[in-house]
Each structure stands twice: as C-alpha cells, then as structure tokens.
Structure 1
Amino acid sequence: MRLEQENDDLAHELVSSKIALRKDLDNAEEKADALNKELLLTKQKLVESEDEKRRLEEESAQLKEMCRRELDKSESEIKKNGSIIGEYKQICSQLSERLEKQQTANRGELEKIRSKVESCERCSSLFNKEGRVRPAGTTVPDGGPEETDEEKEALQNQLREMELELAQTKLQLVEAECKIQDLEHHLGLALNEVQAAKKTWFNRTLSSIKTVTGTQGKETA
C-alpha cells in the first residue's frame, strides 16, 4: 500500500515536471519568435538606413559639385570684372593725363594767341581787360578793315574748337569713371553671391552630416 502511494506521488511529480518543462519550452519558443521578428525588423531598418545614407551621400556630392561650379563661375566673373576694372582705371588714368596735357597745351596756345593779338594793333581789341575773348561784333572799331573781322573770327573758331576738344576729353573721363563705378558695383554683388553660395553650401553639408550621423546613432542604439 505504501509502495503504491510512493508510485502515485512519483507519477504526479513527473507529470508536474513535464507540464512545467513544456510551459518553459513554450515561453522560450515565444521569446525566440519575438527575437526573430525584432531581428528581421532591425535588419530591415538597417537596409533602409543604408539606402538613406547612400541617398544623402549622393545628394551631398551633387550639392558639392553644384557649389563648386557656382564658385568657379563666380570667381571667374570676379577675375573678369577685376580685369575690366583695371583696364578702365588705366584708361581713366590715361584720359586724366591726356586732359592735363591738353589743358596745358591749350593754355600755352591761348597765351600765344593772346600775345600775337596784343602785339597787333588791329587785333588787340579781341580781348577785354580780363583777358577774355570779346563777343563777335563788339571788338571791331568803326571803319576797321575787313581782314580784322576775319582774323578775329578765325581765332574765335580756333578757341571754340580747343574748348570743344577739352569738353569731349572731360566727358570721356566722366564716362570712364561712371563705368568703373558700375563695374565695382557688379563686382561687389558677385562677391556677395560667392559668400552666400559658400554659406549655403556649408549649411547644407553640415545638415547632411548631422542627418547621417543621427541615423547611424539610431542604428547603433
């Protein structure tokens, strides 16, 4: 009787152990399935992250190439404008020198004309006391020879031509200076565009690097 009771207890204990083991096995299988699913999701996220990383790297490379082309173009424009400005400054300097020489020559020529006129009794009335040319028709004495009017007219025409040439030279000088100012303005705009392009390229590159770094950090976590 006692032996049967022990056998029953052992059988009950064996059944209980089998049930417990089966339960542990089921739990282990469930955990394994969950881990497999999590592993698959992680692999999928890793593939997506790598694709995103490649896409960002391609965009970054394209952006760098675009910025490089824009910078090269802007630098080329700056060099071109700088060369043009240098040429116009040289022209302006030459015009200034020419203007100064022309003024000196005109003053010398005018002094020669005045000296000749003052030494001529018939022509001395061509200039007033201040040394300026009298208007035509006001310098000829009554009954003066006709040749005097012709000489005065010729001298006045010569003076007008000299003044006209001087005015044209001054106009060329002013136009050259205006052109230089315009080119310097365009050069300033080009420099601003270069700085803006560099800043934009730096910000975009930094943003791309942060995005890639953040993605890699999430993958590692």
Structure 2
Amino acid sequence: MMEEISIMVAYDAHVFSQLHDEDFLTSLVAISKPRSLVPTKKLKKYEKEYQTMRESQLQQEDPMDRYKRENRRLQEASMRLEQENDDLAHELVTSKIALRNDLDQAEDKADVLNKELLLTKQRLVETEEEKRKQEEETTQLKEVFRKQLEKAEYEIKKTTAIIAEYKQICSQLSTRLEKQQAASKEELEVVKGKMMTCKHCSDIFSKEGALKLAAISREDQGIEADDEKDSLKKQLREMELELAQTKLQLVEAKCKIQELEHQRGALMNEIQAAKNSWFSKTLNSIKTATGTQPLQPPQAAQPPKEST
C-alpha cells in the first residue's frame, strides 16, 4: 500500500514536472519563432496537438521506465540543489568574512579619525590659547611702543626747541660779536687817530697802523704819555679778552648744537628700531599663528641730519 502511494506521488510529481517543462519549452518555442510567420490560431492548434500527443505517449509508456527516468531527474535536481546550497553557503561565509573585514577596517578607520579629531581639538585649544597670549603680548607691546613713541616725540620736541634756542643764541652772539668787532675797530681807529696827532705817541704805531715792538725808553716820555699808553694797552687787552670770550661762547654753543643733533639722531634711530622690532614681532606672531614663514622687517631709515 505504501509502495503504491509512493509510486503515485512520484508519478504525479513526474507528470507535473513534465507539464512544467513542456510549458517552458512551449513558451521558448513561441518566443523563438517569428510571430509574423505563424498565426496565433495555428500556434494554439499545434499546442493542443502536442499536448494530445504527449498524453498518449505517457499512457503508452512503461511505468517502470517512467519512474526510473523521473528518479534520475529527481536525483539530478537534488544534487543540483545541494551544489547550489553549498555554493550559497560558501558565498554566505565569504560574504560574512568580507563584511567582517570591512567592519574591522571601518572600526580601525573610525578609531584613527577619533584620534585625529581629539588631536585636532587639542591643537585648536592650544592654538586659541597661543593666539590669546599673542594678542595680550601685542596689546602690551603696543602700549609700551606708544609710551616710548610719546616719550621720544617729547624728547625730539624738547631737543628741537633747545637746538632752535641755541641757534638763536649763536645768531645773537654772532651779531653781537660782529657789532663788538665793528665798535672795537671804530674805537681803535679813534684812539689811533688821537695818538697819531700826539707827537709823543705817534711813534708807537707804524705807518700801516700796527704797534711797534721796539722798546721806548720811559725816560724819554712824559708821565702823561705813559699813563695814556697804559690805558690804551689795558683797553686793548680787555677788548681782546672780551672777543676771545665771545668766540669761546660761540664755539661752545656750536658744540652744544652738534651734541643735541647727535642726541636727536640717536633718538630717531631708537624710535625706528622700536618700530621695526614691534613690526617684526607682530608679523612673526601672525605668521606663527597661520603656520607660514615670517616676513623680513623693513630697513631702518636714517633720520635726516640738520645742518648746523
């Protein structure tokens, strides 16, 4: 009884598979043939004839042969399914391994990116702190530079005023010296004219107006001539001494002017050096923050020297 049931089940499966195969073949034939050559009605007619022929062949065929053939077909299908199952299992394992590798690589990459992110955040914090310090230092440098600049400008103004004052003094001394020289010359001419009118004193001067160095005996001159000569000599010495003092004051004033101009030039150099130092530090701090090389500071310009 069980054998008959199994045979009937196998036969039904065989018939179903044959019908399925026949339908598949019929569809292939219908697709492969040009539709324009065979009408649809004839195709249906041929299909019915083919179905009738196959049913008659199945009824006439020996059941044992049919079962054997069906058994072989089922075994082949089972082997094919097992092979496909093995292939799918292998593909599944391979896919899992590939996915695991990809996941490991993604995790490693994520770890690297997290480390880089932490380093970048730390570097950003350090950069912001460095920037804040540089801004504070720049503010302090600006304040120091401003004070030094104000001090230097005050010193320059003071020095300029002193130089102008000394120049004015020198000009006044020069004018005074010229006036004194002219007055002394006029006074000397008057004295010389008076002495030339005196017969006792005319021998003191030569014809060119210079004093004679020849010794004149006091015994040959009177007391009045000696007193007048001594007075004239004393007056000449005083005038020469006053002239020498005036010249000395003029030289001292010129030396003081030169010294003040030298101090002014030194102050200008210090101001320019302070400007260059502040400019260089500012550029270096900016370039350090941006990661580039610092620029060279401009050359210090020499301050113009005033003529004395």
Fold match by TM threshold 0.5? yes
CA deviation after TM superposition for structure 1 residue 24, in Å: 4.6
CA deviation after TM superposition for structure 1 residue 148, in Å: 1.4
Worse overlay, 15-24 or 26-35: 15-24
Alignment partner of 1:153: what SS?
Answer: helix
- Does residue 88 of the first structure (1) align with residue 166 of the second (2)? yes
When the two structures are superposed, what TM-score results if normalisation uses the length of structure 1? 0.81
1:178 counterpart letter in structure 2: C
Which residue of 226, 229, 245 corresponds with 1:152?
229
Worse overlay, 14-23 or 114-123: 14-23
1:205 counterpart letter in structure 2: T
CA deviation after TM superposition for structure 1 residue 149, in Å: 1.0
Alignment partner of 1:41: what SS?
Answer: helix
Matches within 5 A, 1:100-179: 100-135=178-213, 137-138=215-216, 140=218, 142=220, 144-179=221-256
When the two structures are superposed, what TM-score results if normalisation uses the length of structure 2? 0.60
CA shift digits 1:71-98 (9 cap, x unpaired): 2222222222111111111000000000
1:147 counterpart letter in structure 2: E
Which has the greater radius of gyration? Answer: 2
Which residue of 64, 69, 73 corresponds with 2:147?
69
1:97 is matched with which residue? Answer: 175
Which residue of 43, 55, 61 corresponds with 2:121?
43
CA shift digits 1:147-173 (9 cap, x unpaired): 211111111111111111111111111
Report the RMSD for the aligned CA atoms in angstroms. Answer: 2.9
Contact 1:140–1:148 (CA under 8 A) maintained in structure 2: no
Matches within 5 A, 1:18-37: 24-37=102-115
Worse overlay, 99-108 or 192-201: 192-201
Worse overlay, 149-158 or 37-46: 37-46
Which structure 1 residue ranges, 4+ long, deviate > 6 Å from structure 2?
none
Contact 1:126–1:139 (CA under 8 A) maintained in structure 2: no
- Does residue 200 of the first structure (1) align with residue 277 of the second (2)? yes
Q: Which structure ranks higher in relative contact order (CA pairs < 8 Å, sequence separation ≥ 6)?
A: 1
CA distance in 1, matches of 2:228, 2:274: 69
CA distance in 2, matches of 1:184, 1:118: 51
CA distance in 1, matches of 2:102, 2:235: 123
